[in-house]
Amino acid sequence: MLAAADRARLGGDAGRWPEKLPVRQRLDVLLDPGSFVEDGLLAAATQPGMPGDGVVTGVGTVEGRPVAVIAHDFGVKAGSWGERTCEKQIRILERADRDLLPVFYLVDSAGGRLTEQMGFFPGRRGASRIFHLQVRLSGRVPQICCLHGPSAAGGAYMPAFTDWVGMVEGRGSMYLASPRVAEKVTGEHTTAEEMGGARMHAEVSGCGDSVFEEDWEALAAARLLLTYLPDDFTGTPPEVEPAPPEATGWDGLVPEDPNIGYDVITVIDRLVDGGTFFEIKPDWAQELVVGFARLEGRVVGLVANQPQVRSGAIHVDSADKAARFIALCDAFNVPLLFLQDVPGFMVGVAVERQGIIRHGAKMILAMSSAEVPKFTIVLRKAYAAGYYAMCAPGFEPRATLALPSAFIGAMGPEASVNAVYAGKIAAIEDAGERDAFLAARVEEHRAEVNLLRMGDELVVDAVVPGEGLRDELITRLRHADGWTRTSGRRHHPVSPV
C-alpha cells in the first residue's frame, strides 16, 4: 500500500524509528523535510510541563502540496484537551476552512481534562466548535486521520468526522467511554482493545479503515492516500505517468457457473495500473470491495462485489461501506467504476431486522446522487435490487459494459423458472421428467434475456472480452473529461436514517 517514494524514504530507515514515535517525529515522517511552519508554539508557556498545551498545529507540505496539521502530543498530559488545546485546533481548522487546505489529524489523546472542563466543554470555542468545523470542511477538503493512541469520550468524534482513519495496532483506540466507565454504567467487564481497539474498529464496527503495525506505516499510507485526492472540492486528483496492469490473461478468471466464487481483486489487477489499488476498509464488510486506483494515470474509484465472500450479496454493512465511499468520490470529483457480480441484497429475518431496506436505500441514494462520471461493468451475474444498487442503466452511468459471461435478470434463471412454474413442477412425479422440464425452461429463459437481447434493448452498450476491457474503459473515461455538475439543484438530499 505504500508508494515507492515512501518506501525509499522511510522503509530503509524504519529501524531507527521507535515503536511509538514522539509527536515531532511523526510530523517528520508525514511532512516534506523543512516544510512545517508551527502556530501557537508558546501556548501555556507560563505553565511548567505544558509545552504547546499538548497539541502541535501548523501548515506544511506533502509531496509539495500545502496541508494543515493537528498532532496531539501524548507526552503532555496524555495529549488531553484544555482551553488552549481547543483554541489551537480551532484556529488551524478555521485556516483550513478559509484557505481550503487538506487536514491531517495525528490523534493521540486521553480526551478532555476534567479539571479544566470550563475550557474545553461548554463554550463557543470548545470541542463542539472543533466538530462543527470538521463538518463544515467535510466534502470540501480531504480530512485524513492517523490514530496513534487513544481517542476517548467526545474526542472519539474527531476521527469519525474524517474521510479515512488508519489505526496503529495495540495502541490506537477510540471509544465513547473507557472500560472502567462502562463497567460502572452497564456492569460490563471488558478491555480497551475489545471495546475500541484497532482490529475491532477495522473488522467489526467499520469506524477504522486500515490497521498498521507501526506509527510510520500509518503516516506513509496517509501520505499516499492524499495522492488520490485533490486539494479541495473544486479540483481534480493529480494525474501521474501511466503504468501497465499488474496481471494479464483472462482465461478462466471469471467462472461461468454463477455459484462458484472467485476473488474480484484478480479482475481489478487486470484493469488498473499496476500497484495503484488503494483499498478502503479491506477488513470490514468484505463481500464488497471499494478503493481508489489509477487507470492510465487517472484516479478512479472502484465499487466491486466480492463473489468469494457471501457470494457477493450486499449486506447492511456493505451497503453503508459503499454509500460512504461513493459519497467521498463524488465530493472530490473521482469517476466511479462499478464491477457487478451480485446475487442481490441479502434476505432473511436477521437482515430485515437490521434495516437492510434502509441501509440499501442509503447506498442507492449515494449512487444515484453522484454526478461524477459512472461506468458499470457486469462481470457475471446481476440480479434483483443488487443490480440497481450497483448502478443499473436507470441511474445514468455513462455506459454499461458486459463481459461475455454476464447475465442480467430479476433473479437467476433457475430461481426464476422455479418461481414461475412452481405448480407445474410440483405436479410432475417422475424425477427425470421433472429435471428435463426444468432444464428446458431454464434454457428458454436464458435465451429470452441473453446479452444480444440486452444490447438490442439498449440495456448493455457493449459486450467486451476481458482482454479489451481496460482499453475500453480508458477510452470512455477520456471521453468523459468535459463533465460538469448540474447547477441550481437542492443543497443535498435527505439521507435515510
pLDDT per position as a tens digit, 353-369: 999 999 999 999 999 99
Tell me the helices (H) and strands (E) count for the chain, helix number first: 20, 16
Work out the average pLDDT over 149-165.
Answer: 92
pTM metric for this prediction: 0.92
Question: d(Cα 299, Cα 302) in Å, to the nearest integer?
Answer: 10
Question: d(Cα 376, Cα 30) in Å, to the nearest integer?
Answer: 36
pLDDT band for 44, please (50, 70, 90 cuts). Answer: confident
Question: d(Cα 88, Cα 42) in Å, to the nearest integer?
Answer: 11
Residue 423 burial (10 A CB sphere; 0-12, 13-18, 19+): exposed
For the chain, the average pLDDT equals 91
Short-list 183, 196, 202, CA closest to 157:
196
Contact in structure between 129 and 90 (CB atoms under 8 Å) = yes
Q: What is the pLDDT of residue 336?
A: 98
Q: What is the pLDDT of residue 10?
A: 47
pLDDT band for 18, please (50, 70, 90 cuts). Answer: low
Distance separating the N- and C-terminal Cα atoms of the chain: 34
Residue 358 vs residue 427, higher pLDDT: 358
In terms of DSSP bridges, do strands 55-62 and 399-402 run parallel, antiparallel, or are they unpaired?
Answer: unpaired
Q: Look at 3-12, 179-188, 316-325, 405-414 and tell me which has the smallest mean pLDDT.
A: 3-12
Q: Is 338 helix (H, G, I), strand (E, B) or coil?
A: strand
Residue for cell digits 470548545? Answer: 126
Angle at 299 between CA 371 and CA 246, to 5 degrees: 135
Residue 178 vs residue 94, higher pLDDT: 94
Question: d(Cα 267, Cα 153) in Å, to the nearest integer?
Answer: 42
Question: d(Cα 317, Cα 289) in Å, to the nearest integer?
Answer: 12
Question: d(Cα 167, Cα 150) in Å, to the nearest integer?
Answer: 10
Q: What is the pLDDT of residue 12?
A: 43
Question: d(Cα 485, Cα 469) in Å, to the nearest integer?
Answer: 27
DSSP state for residue 376 in the 8-state scheme: E
Q: Is 143 helix (H, G, I), strand (E, B) or coil?
A: strand
Q: Write the DSSP assignment of 252-317 as a string of letters.
A: TTS-SSTTS---THHHHHHHSBTT--EEESTTSSTTEEEEEEEETTEEEEEEEE-TTTGGG-B-HH
Work out the average pLDDT over 200-219.
Answer: 96
Q: Is 240 helix (H, G, I), strand (E, B) or coil?
A: coil
Short-list 83, 73, 165, 172, CA closest to 130:
83
DSSP state for residue 193 in the 8-state scheme: H
With 80 as the cut, is the pLDDT of residue 209 above it? yes
Short-list 137, 183, 182, CA closest to 158:
137
In sequence order, what are the beta bridge partners of 146?
106, 166
Question: d(Cα 406, Cα 258) in Å, to the nearest integer?
Answer: 9
Q: What is the pLDDT of residue 411?
A: 75
Cell numbers of 92, please? Answer: 488551524
Q: On the CB side of 299, how many CA atoms lie within 13 Å of its CA?
A: 21
pLDDT band for 421, please (50, 70, 90 cuts). Answer: confident
Q: What is the pLDDT of residue 173?
A: 93
Q: What is the pLDDT of residue 369?
A: 95
pLDDT band for 9, please (50, 70, 90 cuts). Answer: very low
Contact in structure between 304 and 290 (CB atoms under 8 Å) = yes
Q: What is the pLDDT of residue 497?
A: 61
Residue 360 vs residue 422, higher pLDDT: 360
With 50 as the cut, is the pLDDT of residue 127 above it? yes
Query: Percent of the chain, pLDDT > 90?
Result: 71
In terms of DSSP bridges, do strands 173-175 and 210-212 run parallel, antiparallel, or are they unpaired?
Answer: unpaired
pLDDT in tens, 255-306: 999 999 999 999 999 999 999 999 999 999 999 999 999 999 999 999 999 9
Alpha helices in 100-126 (DSSP H): 117-120
Q: What is the pLDDT of residue 490?
A: 67
| Residue 472: φ, ψ to 5° | -60, -45
Short-list 218, 224, 264, 217, CA closest to 240:
224
pLDDT band for 392, please (50, 70, 90 cuts). Answer: very high
Q: On the CB side of 72, how many CA atoms lie within 13 Å of its CA?
A: 28
pLDDT band for 417, please (50, 70, 90 cuts). Answer: confident
E-strand ranges in 343-473 read 374-383, 399-402, 407-409, 462-463
Q: Left if phi > 0, otherwise alpha if psi is -120 to 50, otherwise beta: which for 285?
A: left
Q: Look at 1-15, 19-33, 86-100, 290-304 and tell me which has the smallest mean pLDDT.
A: 1-15
